[in-house]
Amino acid sequence: MTAIARITLLSLVLGLSACTVQRPVPTSSEPIPPVGPSTRPAPSTAPGKHSAPIPAAKPQPRTSASFAPPPGGHSHWDARLGVYVLDDQNNTFYRQRTYYRWNNGWSRSISPDGPWEDTDVHGVPAGLGRQFQ
pLDDT tens, position by position, 9-51: 877 777 766 666 556 566 656 665 666 555 555 555 555 555 5
Higher confidence at residue 100 or residue 50? 100
Domain residue spans of the chain: 62-132
Q: What is the CA radius of gyration of the chain?
A: 31
The DSSP 8-state label assigned to residue 123 in this structure reads: G
**Three-state DSSP class for residue 84:** strand
Model confidence, pTM: 0.53
What pLDDT is stored for residue 8 in this prediction?
Answer: 84
Widest Cα–Cα separation across the chain? 90
Give dist(CA 10, CA 16) in Å, integer.
Answer: 10
